[in-house]
Amino acid sequence: MQQINHWINGQFVPGDSQRRGPIYNPATGQQTSEVALASVADVDSAVSAAREAFDTWRHSPLTRRQNIMFAFRELVLNHKLDIAKLLTAEHGKTIDDALGEVQRGLEVIEFVTNIAHLVKGEFSEQVSTGVDTYTIRQPIGVVVGITPFNFPAMVPMWMYPVAIATGNTFVLKPSEKDPSPSQFCAELFQKAGLPDGVFNIVHGDKVAVDALIEHPDVAAISFVGSTPIAQYIHENGAKAGKRVQALGGAKNHMVVLPDADMDLAADAAVSAGFGSAGERCMAISVVVTVGDAADRLIPKVQERMDALEVGPGMAEGSQMGPLITAQHRDKVSGYVDAGEREGATLVADGRGIAVEGHADGFFFGPTLFDNVKPEMSIYTDEIFGPVLSVTRLERYEDAINLINANPYGNGTAVFTNDGGAARKFQNEIEVGMVGINVPIPVPLAFYSFGGWKASIFGDHPIYGPEGVHFYTRQKVIISRWPDPIHRGVDLGFPQHG
Ligand code: NAD
């Protein structure tokens, strides 16, 4: 069985823990490898390596950091398909979708090839007689990234390129379900000229996460995952004195107004509901129809769902791969049972789908519910699978109120041809990322990504300018060079220049 080990100080090491976790190919249901689950001592080795590397790396010239990022960008670009294949093998998503994921990570690397511009400070000359004031932004030290299974290449890349380009050193704790893309990228980073110890990976579970939260040499934690764990990381990280950004789960609504282009809306609902088998934090899980929109939209959605090809991610023509584990598939199935019990109308049922030659794969077919009410568990919970709900409302105002009352606030969208209605949505909706006739509003790397409410804990969205701020701290300097006029002792606050 292939062993996946930690990456510490520029080499793969098994660590001292005997604990191992299984990695599956979700399309076949077979275990393909084993990942080391770190002990507290393993975490300490990784943090110590990063701590030691920080003393040198923080002084490395900006131009050198940029050159390494350019080289890393070239290597990731040249190995895009290799990374995507690793990703599909452990996550299950289609190879096209995996290539898209790597591309979105690559864009963050491209963003930080310009890091010298992004960390510029401010300067004010002569704020008082002979006195100048200026700011600089400095790295904060060893920073940690803890990431989810659903974007095993992209989400770590939301973090470590920005942290490292700004002069920090990094310890990544990837999802224990699909760690291989990060392993591959660690070696590429080394080939790009990154000094050993600047980027490290520890694999593991709660033991590793808790050791990272408590480690005195960790300055900051970036987390992306489910809401309960995000809240746990934020509270405990803050208690341990660390800077924390923790992005959580989601329940994303797409409002369809009666004047919308129904073909466009149906394409969007199916793409955003079933892409990556619904295992995206920005997946649409509830379509909120206003007035008579549902009667015109649902047949078009059904038609598109009927044509979807479910199959292994590597197979030509597959549009939707399997779910991540058998347990997760059973959990999704349980939600469909509950939806039926609670009285929603099951329009399309993905339970028990058969994929030829892949009887043991973790497949689940596209599922559609109509007449979903806000008190049903298929509405309240993040299902994280290919289950789309339709909630029918009479008035636009009710749709806005429904979304604003939801505890999550990651992404949302409105489909309409009315500019005024779209503008009202943009203004009143209490969600961090808003699409207007765009179902998955994920900003490119020169903006920042982040939801509101229970979809984020901490002040800073991730990557982009907010990422640069999260990974640096401001120092303000007020300087006066000696001049012949010495003013003597003055205990008062200055009142004039
Ligand atoms: P998860 O919360 O189960 O795991 C995320 C990370 O936390 C993993 O590295 C895992 O090892 C660790 N972890 C799990 N349980 C832990 C515990 N009890 N104590 C300490 N650490 C623990 O999430 P997941 O299932 O891997 O990913 C899916 C979730 O991530 C969904 O809720 C999805 O919405 C969310 N997500 C959010 C975003 C976003 O940007 N807001 C992006 C991607 C995924």
Strand locations in 40-147, DSSP E? 123-128, 131-139, 142-146
Residue of the nearest CA to atom 18 in ligand 1? Answer: 206
Per-residue tens of pLDDT for the chain, all 497 residues: 899 999 999 999 999 999 999 999 999 999 999 999 999 999 999 999 999 999 999 999 999 999 999 999 999 999 999 999 999 999 999 999 999 999 999 999 999 999 999 999 999 999 998 999 999 999 999 999 999 999 999 999 999 999 999 999 999 999 999 999 999 999 999 999 999 999 999 999 999 999 999 999 999 999 999 999 999 999 999 999 999 999 999 999 999 999 999 999 999 999 999 999 999 999 999 999 999 999 999 999 999 999 999 999 999 999 999 999 999 999 999 999 999 999 999 999 999 999 999 999 999 999 999 999 999 999 999 999 999 999 999 999 999 999 999 999 999 999 999 999 999 999 999 999 999 999 999 999 999 999 999 999 999 999 999 999 999 999 999 999 987 777 789 899 877 66
Question: Nearest-CA neighbor of 56 among 146, 132, 165, 167?
Answer: 167
Q: What is the pLDDT of residue 308?
A: 98
Give start-end residues of each CATH 3.40.605.10 domain in the chain.
2-248+455-477
In ligand 1, the atom with minimum distance to the C-alpha of 174 is 9
Structure tokens at 244: 């924390």
Kindly give the number of the ligand 1 atom that is closest to the alpha carbon of 382. 32
- Ligand 1 site: residues with CB under 6 angstroms? 146-151, 155, 173, 175-176, 205-206, 209, 224-226, 229, 247-250, 281, 382, 384, 410, 451, 455
Give yes or no for a contact between 345 and 301, defined as CB atoms under 8 angstroms apart. Answer: no
Given the CA of residue 173, which atom of ligand 1 is nearest to it? Answer: 9
Q: Quote the CA–CA distance of 428 and 405 in Å, as a whole number.
A: 12
What type of residue sits at position 72? F
Decide if 290 contacts 256 (C-beta within 8 A).
Answer: yes
CA of 87 to the centre of ligand 1 (A): 17
User: What is the number of residues in the chain?
Assistant: 497
pLDDT value of position 486? 76
CA of 247, closest atom in ligand 1: 41
Q: Which of 229, 440, 447 to mutate to test the pocket of ligand 1 (most atoms within 8 A of CB)?
A: 229
CA of 376 to the centre of ligand 1 (A): 24
Rounded-to-integer distance, Cα 82 and Cα 476, Å: 45
- Give the Å distance between the CA of 48 and the centre of ligand 1: 25
Determine the residue of 154, 173, 209 to mutate for testing ligand 1's pocket, defined as the one with the most ligand atoms within 8 A of the Cβ atom. Answer: 209
Domain 252-436 classified CATH 3.40.309.10?
A: yes
What separation in Å is there between the alpha carbon of 182 and the centre of ligand 1? Answer: 16
Best of 147, 226, 284, 410 to mutate for ligand 1, by most ligand atoms within 8 A of CB? 226
- Residue owning the nearest CA to atom 17 of ligand 1: 206
CA of 404 to the centre of ligand 1 (A): 24
Determine the atom of ligand 1 nearest the C-alpha atom of 204.
11
Contact by Cβ (8 Å): 111, 445: yes
Sign of CA dihedral 338, 339, 342, 348: negative
Q: Which of 90, 224, 412 to mutate to test the pocket of ligand 1 (most atoms within 8 A of CB)?
A: 224
pLDDT of residue 497: 64
**Which residue has the CA at smallest separation from atom 20 of ligand 1?**
206
Element (H, E) at 493: none
C-alpha 47 to ligand 1 mean position (Å): 21
For residue 307, how far is its CA from the centre of ligand 1 (angstroms)?
32
Query: Ligand 1, atom 36: nearest CA belongs to which residue?
Result: 225
The C-alpha atoms of residue 21 and residue 483 are separated, in whole angstroms, by 67
- Residue closest via CA to ligand 1's atom 30 equals 225
Q: What token pair was written down for 259? A: 């004047």
Homologous superfamily in CATH for domain 2-248+455-477: Aldehyde Dehydrogenase; Chain A, domain 1 (3.40.605.10)
- With H, G, I as helix, E, B as strand and everything else as coil, classify residue 34: strand
Cβ atoms of 240 and 233 within 8 Å: the answer is no
Nearest-atom number in ligand 1 for the CA of 456 is 41
Digit-coded pLDDT (tens) for 414-429: 999 999 999 999 999 9
Q: Which amino acid is at 58?
A: R
pTM of the model: 0.97
Give the CA angle between residues 390, 396, 402 to the nearest 5°. Answer: 60
Say what angle helices 419-428 and 396-405 make with each other, to 10 degrees.
20
CA-250 nearest atom, ligand 1 = 34
Q: Which two tokens stand for residue 222?
A: 């970036």
Residues forming the active site: 281
Where are the CATH 3.40.309.10 domain residues in the chain? 252-436
* Cα(234) to centroid(ligand 1), Å: 13
Q: Which residue has the least CA distance to atom 26 on ligand 1?
A: 148
Q: How many CB atoms lie within 10 A of CB 167?
A: 23
**Other CB atoms within 10 A of residue 423 CB:** 12
Q: Torsion-angle region of residue 254: left (phi > 0), alpha (psi -120 to 50) or beta?
A: beta
Closest CA to 246 of 263, 233, 261: 233
